Structure 1
Amino acid sequence: MNPEERPHAVSRLRAARLARSAKPFIARGSRKERCPGCRVMHSHCLCALRPSVPTQAGVCLIMCDIEPLKPSNTGWLIADMVADTAAFGWARTVVDPALLAMLADPQWQPYVVFPGEYVAPERVVTEVVPAAGKRPLFVLLDATWAEARKMFRKSPYLDHLPVLSLQPEQLSNYRLRRSKRGDHLCTSEVAALCLELAQEQHAADTLSAYLDVFTNHYLNAKNSVPVDLEDAAHLRLRDLGTDQRTMQR
């Protein structure tokens, strides 16, 4: 990690959550020290591979209490790449005023990303069509599925916002936590689909590739397997970075 790099929103939320903890948070299975920049063991650090892709869209992460502390959290990857990413902790009885201010900011058109089957049909949208002069802001509930459903029900400040219901054709490729259903996507996969709907295909592809590389490093570190920087996942991320530099010329 570059010590001069400014921590992003999820990193700051993690630091604030740790400061409130009565005891140190020890990730399950952790025995070795992790890099603070990517949360992977130092031997498998991927900070040097962190992509940066300009986007019109922004992301607002509303995170379940312990989620920022988990090294497998993929909201962190979104904040790594999308400059306009905000992160807020969720509580049933208290709402961060900064979150309310962001949702009311006239530069943004917020969309709560959640399955449409859980809301009235008139709130559901399946396309991203921001009003003139507004940028799309994807509000993601970063939690387990059971926790996200509770957060959605008990956050009345979201009730006036349109609900973007995704129709993903692919099953989740996320391998760092167990899920009983393959159609339950991780937060980073959801964000990539949102970017695609916002016509930001290169950003969507880069975030997907970055998730693959992160998963590769994380699991290899866990199993004490060296990283192959020339495998398909790394080459794809590298090629997308080359494409981005070409577009900027």
Structure 2
Amino acid sequence: MRIHKVHQLHKERLARSSKPFNARGANVNRCEFCQVHKDHCICEYQPETTSDAAFLLIMFDTEVLKPSNTGKLIADVIPETHAYLWSRTEPSEEMLALLNNEAYQPFVVFPEEQIEDKSLVRNEVIMEEGKTPLFILLDGSWREAGRMYRKSPYLHQLPVLSFKSEQLSNYIMRKASKDHQLATAEVASLVLDLFGEQQNARHLEHWFELFREHYLYSKRPVKGAERGMGLKRLIEFRTNLKVNNEI
């Protein structure tokens, strides 16, 4: 399997912990990479994809330690995914250099209603020639993400990619979800769709569905439990993708 920046950040954060991080399900025997019960590990199905996009995950301190975190799923699908811990007073110099790299065109993905300067808000991805989009996701709870944005002045002059209410409604209807607060991976799927990488967007959706399904097995392990619809849909999607690419 491919080891990526979120895996590395998780390992680094664990190494400097003075005491164990006791998230829900702390006693579950988890795979160190996908973070589901080892009996239901999904690492063998990790996607093999390419993308013209890059993502930057700025993660709240404990978010990277949570087994339920979905930022790692983005890094599973999008090869160029960067990940750093957020610091109010000492932001990573490497991260700041990435934001200032002329090869990239950064967009902060954030709700429009929380942005004071509406001139920064974009509802579509319009690229400068020769640049790679760098989609910045603030990975934490909604409250934590709001604080991260407010306390990070280096983000305040960057364009903000925000979704119209009908885009969110259509996505939520398609997912048959009653929860209007989307997971980080679901937001990334919307970003990829908007950027024009529909295949990667669908791949991330299916990967998220498989993770969510097997994560539930981790919470309530069932002896001999069969892999469910998440895996079936992922395999069907990949089969159709392969056939269409060969035509």
TM-score, with length taken from structure 2: 0.90
Say if 1:11 and 1:76 are closer, same or farther in 2 by CA, change over 3 A. same
**Among residues 228, 231, 234, which one is paired with 2:231 in the alignment?**
234
Q: Is 1:147 aligned to 2:144, yes or no?
A: yes
Deviation at 1:29, TM superposition (A): 2.3
* 8 A contact 1:53–1:244 mirrored in 2: no
Partner AA of 1:95 in structure 2: P
Of 20-29 and 139-148, more deviation after overlay is shown by 20-29
Q: Say which structure is richer in helix.
A: 2
**Among residues 108, 116, 130, which one is paired with 1:112 in the alignment?**
108
Deviation at 1:32, TM superposition (A): 2.9
* 8 A contact 2:28–2:218 mirrored in 1: no
CA distance in 2, matches of 1:28, 1:90: 23
Partner AA of 2:226 in structure 1: D
Structure 1: gaps of 5 or more residues: 176-180
Q: Is 1:224 aligned to 2:221, yes or no?
A: yes
> For residues 47-126 of structure 1, what are the structure 2 equivalents within 5 Å?
47-119=43-115, 120-126=117-123
Matching residue of 2:193: 196
TM-score, with length taken from structure 1: 0.90
- 1:171 aligned counterpart, secondary structure: helix
Matching residue of 2:155: 158
Matching residue of 2:129: 132
Deviation at 1:55, TM superposition (A): 0.8
- 2:172 aligned counterpart, secondary structure: coil
Matching residue of 1:211: 208
Deviation at 1:20, TM superposition (A): 1.1
Structure 2: gaps of 5 or more residues: none
Q: Percent identity?
A: 42
Q: Is 1:20 aligned to 2:21, yes or no?
A: no
Q: Is 1:41 aligned to 2:37, yes or no?
A: yes
Deviation at 1:184, TM superposition (A): 1.3
CA distance in 2, matches of 1:222, 1:44: 11
CA distance in 1, matches of 2:176, 2:13: 25
Q: Number of residues paired by the alignment?
A: 239
* 8 A contact 2:37–2:217 mirrored in 1: no
Deviation above 6 Å: which 4+ runs of structure 1? none
Say if 1:223 and 1:205 are closer, same or farther in 2 by CA, change over 3 A. same
CA distance in 2, matches of 1:227, 1:160: 50
RMSD: 2.0
CA distance in 1, matches of 2:29, 2:200: 31
Q: Is 1:171 aligned to 2:167, yes or no?
A: no
